[in-house]
Amino acid sequence: MATPTHPRILRLTEVLRLTGRSRSAIYAGMADGTFPKGVRISKRCVGWDSRLVYEWIDAVLAGGAA
């Protein structure tokens, strides 16, 4: 999967759509270090660096651990 040329902050709904994983799987992966950590963008809002999410997708497609 090609990484976008301009990095952006992805919200949870887009991360779920891109990865095909559930919300609990995303947060479990963050906890055990197998998925990129989210960044707090406001008091009640978390986002993910698009570059890191696309790198994770590329690793999974290449046969890496998910």
Q: Does residue 42 sit within a domain?
A: yes
Question: What count of residues does the chain have?
Answer: 66
What is the count of structural domains for the chain? 1
Q: b/e for 40-55, b at 16 or more Cβ within 10 A?
A: eeeeeebbbbbebbbe
Range of the structural domain that residue 45 is part of: 9-61
pTM: 0.85
Q: Does residue 33 sit within a domain?
A: yes
Q: Does residue 15 sit within a domain?
A: yes
Q: Does residue 1 sit within a domain?
A: no
Residue 24's pLDDT band, with cuts at 50, 70 and 90, is very high
Q: Does residue 4 sit within a domain?
A: no
pLDDT at 3: 60
Percent above pLDDT 90 for the chain: 83
Q: Does residue 21 sit within a domain?
A: yes
Residue among 35, 1, 32 nearest 15 (CA): 35
What mean pLDDT comes out for the span 3-20?
90
Q: Does residue 3 sit within a domain?
A: no
What contacts 24+ positions apart, CB below 8 Å, involve 18-26?
Answer: 18/53, 18/54, 18/57, 19/53, 19/56, 19/57
